[in-house]
Amino acid sequence: MSSDFVDGRVLLIDDQGERARNLITVLQDANFQFDCCAEVDDLEATLGPESPWDCVLCTSDLMHVSWAGVRRAMRNFDVQVPVIVIADDRDLDSMSTALGLGATDFFVRPKERPGLLKRSIERCVHHRRLQRQLQASKQRLERTNARLRHSLRILEQDQQAGRQVQMALLPSAALKVEDYWFSQTIYTSLYLSGDFVDYFQVGDHEVVFFLADVSGHGSSSAFATVLLKNLFARKRSDYLRRRDLAISSPVSMLTLANRELLELDLNKYATMVVGVLDFRLHSLRYSIAGHLPLPLLLSDEGAVYLTGEGSPVGLLPNAQFNEQQLKLPDTFILSLFSDGILELLDDDDLIAKEQSLLARLSGPVVRPSALSDRLGIEHVDRDALPDDVAALFISRGLA
């Protein structure tokens, strides 16, 4: 190691002034700053983490010093400064003293050519500098971690507040209209969800509903669900104020959702199912925007997926959507799920997962709670969900 690299501060402990000056003279061409003292009153201040010295040279035959007492004192604090013991002769007692002090090195006092001692001091100074750098890095890391923990607490509080707002936007309870029931449930993998469902009555004989699954997770996806909620609320208001019929048209609502997501430039898209149930005519009009799994109708005739296809909203400026119509049976349950439900199935590919979902839901027409039991949703560890799971159930004729 080159001495040009080292410019350390060295404490020489020697109770014989002339001997100390001679040693400094021998080492004078080294790049060290030497401080001398005959004895040390505060060992921790000298050898501890806050010590100003990079290395300590200590003479082994100090008068009036109990080395046993020094060793005991050094056990009570964290020794950080390397100690090199200097002796006049290479005798066993001096070496034992050095070992007992935990010395970094041991030297017989050089009278000339002190190269080995210089290099040992350089190593000690370098080691001490690394210690200081490590301590400084540790302190910076602790401060950074403290700021990160504070930021994380604020973020969690914001996320929890956002979750409360988002949950408040969901339908507060099941909706009963004539002999039809609408209900929903959402299981989130994070505080905020990219899944959303809603249903509400429009006019005197229709109920509008939709299920949306926004790409990604977290705040930006949740923000997109708020936009969709707001869109449907605005168009519902437009219907009430000026008989704007867009809210009763699944294709129109998907077209508007597509335009607003693109204009918002969130780099988010959403798959959706939008439907209008006419409980006077017992019919359903619906449109699908790239959503899987497809809505599943369970009736006395069995379980089938509804048909329909289309592009997700928020991807293509000129996306086209189609409207499907369905005459509803006297007894049925229509189940809409976000694609998170497929992640709970163990099958290898999408087709197998869809077949497995159909098989699990097949059977007698039952209430939504019993349907959830068939899927095992209630028994899934909520903290281990790989994706959000949203479900919307529409039923008729169930006791």
Contact between residue 393 and residue 183 where contact means Cβ atoms under 8 Å apart = yes
Distance CA 183, CA 202 (A): 17
Using DSSP bridges, classify how beta strands 270-278 and 83-87 pair: parallel, antiparallel or unpaired. Answer: unpaired
pLDDT at 394: 96
pLDDT at 263: 92
The tens-digit pLDDT sequence of the chain (399 residues) is: 444 445 789 999 998 989 999 888 888 777 888 999 998 888 899 999 899 999 999 988 887 777 778 888 888 888 889 999 988 888 787 787 788 778 888 888 887 778 899 999 999 999 998 988 898 899 899 999 989 888 878 776 666 665 666 666 778 889 999 999 999 988 776 666 788 899 999 999 999 999 999 987 767 788 888 889 999 999 999 999 999 999 999 999 999 999 999 998 888 999 999 999 999 999 999 999 999 999 999 999 999 999 999 999 999 999 999 999 999 999 999 999 998 888 888 888 899 999 989 988 888 888 888 887 787 766 666 555 667 788 999 999 886
Residues, the chain, total? Answer: 399
Distance CA 91, CA 95 (A): 7
pLDDT at 381: 61
Which CATH superfamily, name and number, covers 3-138?
A: Response regulator (3.40.50.2300)
- CATH 3.40.50.2300 in the chain, residues? 3-138
**3-state SS track over the chain:** CCHHHCCCEEEEECCCHHHHHHHHHHCCCCCCEEEEECCCCCHHHHHCCCCCCCEEEEECCCCCCCHHHHHHHHCCCCCCCCEEEEECCCCHHHHHHHHHCCCCEEEECCCCCCHHHHHHHHHHHHHHHHHHHHHHHHHHHHHHHHHHHHHHHHHHHHHHHHHHHHHHHCCCCCEEECCEEEEEEEECCCCCCCEEEEEEEECCCEEEEEEEEECCCHHHHHHHHHHHHHHHHHHHHHHHHHCCHHHHCHHHHHHHHHHHHHHHCCCCCEEEEEEEEECCCCEEEEEEECCCCCCEEEECCEEEECCCCECCECCCCCCCECCEEEECCCCEEEEEECCHHHHCCCCCCHHHHHHHHHHHHCCCCCCHHHHHHHHCHHHCCHHHCCCCEEEEEEEECCC
End-to-end CA separation in angstroms for the chain: 89
Instruction: Give residue 384's identity as a one-letter amino acid code.
Output: A
pLDDT at 89: 83
pLDDT at 3: 41
- CATH 3.60.40.10 in the chain, residues? 170-396
pLDDT at 260: 93
Which CATH superfamily, name and number, covers 170-396?
A: PPM-type phosphatase domain (3.60.40.10)
